[in-house]
Structure formats: C-alpha cells, structure tokens
Amino acid sequence: MTQETAQLLRLYIVFLPLIFVAGFYCVITTRNLIRTLLGLEILTKAVTLMLALAGYLTGRTAMSQALIITLIVIEVVVIAVAAGVVLNIFRHNNSLDARNIRSLKG
C-alpha cells in the first residue's frame, strides 16, 4: 500500500463514521421533516463515498462510477417521493413538525 493510499485511508476512517453519525443524528433528533430528508441525503452521500473508496481500493473505478450513478438516480426518486409525502403532510397539518405525525399508536 503506497503512502498516498494509507493517508487516504486514514482520512476515510476518521471522517466516514463521522458523516454516518451526523446523518443518523440528524434523522433521529430533528423535529423538522425537511431536515429529516436532508439527514437522509447526508447518509446517502456517506454511502456514495464508501462506494468510491471501494472502487479506488480495488482498482475498478469504472464499475464503481456506474454503481454510484445508479445509486444517485434511485435516491433522487426516493427523495422526490418523500418530499411529495412531506408536502402533503404539510398541507394537512400546516406545519412541518415531526411531532404531528405520531398519531398512529398501538
């Protein structure tokens, strides 16, 4: 393993978990629905980084790129749908507070 790779890996090992934690923290603790979606986006980026790293480590950068692009497309669709749901929730409750969508219990 060359020095570059080692340095890169060190950076990754420090920052990737940070991004993951940040993403999960954002999703779990925020009360604003839009921020939840942003948290999902952060997590998606973290995974994208992992895929890029994988491509670099094994030398198969082309495959990695293809996977990342597919991933981005799929996540766009998911976020679009999620945003649509959030928009409709807003229309019902006139607020983006996540505490309003706790009514289904038991």
Partner 1 sequence: MNGLLQFFIITPSLLAAAAFLSPKRIKGLREGIALVATGLNLYFALAYFGRDIYATVPWGGGLGLDFSLRLYGFSSFIIASAAAFSFLITLYSSVFMYKKEHPGQFYLYLILSVAMINGAVLADNLVVLLFFWEGLLVTLFGMIFIGHKGAYKTAMKALIIAGITDLCMMLGIALTYYLAGTLTISKIHLPMSFGASVAFIFIMIGAISKAGSMPFHSWIPDAAVDAPLPFMAFLPGSLEKLIGIYFLTRISLDMFQLSAGSWVSTVMMIVGAVTIILAVMMALVQKDFKKLLSYHAISQVGYMILGIGTAVPVGIVGGIFHMLNNAIYKSCLFLTGGAVEHRAGTTDLRKLGGLGKVMPVTFASFIVAALAISGVPPFNGFFSKELVYDGALERHWIFYFAAVAGSFFTAASFLKLGHSAFGGKISEEFKKIKEAPFAMLVPMVVIASACIVFGLYNSFPIDKLIAPVLGEHAQSHVFSGFPHNIMLVAITLVVLAGAVLNHIYGVKKTGKGLGAVDHIHHAPVLSTLYDKSGQADPYDIGMKLTGILAAGLWYIDRGIDWLYNGFSVYSAYAIAFVSKNIRGASYSAFIIWSLIGAAAVLAMMFGKS
Partner 2 sequence: MSWTLVVVPIIAVILLNLPFGEGYRKLAFPAGIFLAVLQSALVLLPIENMFPYGACPLSPFVFLSPDALGLLMILSVGIVVFSALLVGWRMTDKTSRKSDFANLIILAMAGMNGVILSGDLFSLYVFLEIVAVSSFILIAMDKNREALEGSFKYIMLSAVATILILSSISVFLMLTGSTSFSAAAAALKQGNHAAVLASGLFIIGLLIKGGIAPFHGWLPDAYTSAPAGVSIFLAGIVTKTTGIYTIIKLVSYVTGYTGPVKEILLFFGAVSALLGAFAALDQKNFKRMLAYSSISQMGYVIMGLGAGNPLGVMGAAFHLFNHAIFKTQLFVNSAAVEQETGTLNMDRLGGLSDKMPVTGATSVVALLSTAGVPPLSGFWSKLLVIVALWVAGYKIYALIAVFAGVVTLAYLLSMQRRVFFGNISASFSNIKEAGVSFTLPAVLLSTITIAAGVFFPYVFEKLIIPVQALLGLL
Q: How far is the CB of 59 from partner 1 (least distance, A)?
A: 28
Contact assessment for residue 16 and residue 46, using Cβ atoms and an 8 Å cutoff: yes
Pinpoint the alpha helices (H) of 1-106. 3-29, 33-58, 61-93
- Residues β-bridged to residue 97: 32
Q: How far is the CB of 81 from partner 1 (least distance, A)?
A: 15
Q: How far apart are CA 57 and CA 48, in angstroms?
A: 14
Q: How far apart are CA 70 and CA 48, in angstroms?
A: 11
Instruction: Figure out which of the listed residues 21, 61, 74, 95 binds partner 2, where binding follows CB under 8 A.
Output: 74
Instruction: Figure out which of the listed residues 34, 38, 67, 96 binds partner 2, where binding follows CB under 8 A.
Output: 67
Residues that bind partner 2 (CB under 8 A): 23, 27, 33, 36, 40, 43-44, 46-47, 50-51, 53-55, 57-60, 64, 66-67, 70-71, 74, 77-78, 81-82, 84-86, 88-89, 92, 101, 103-104, 106
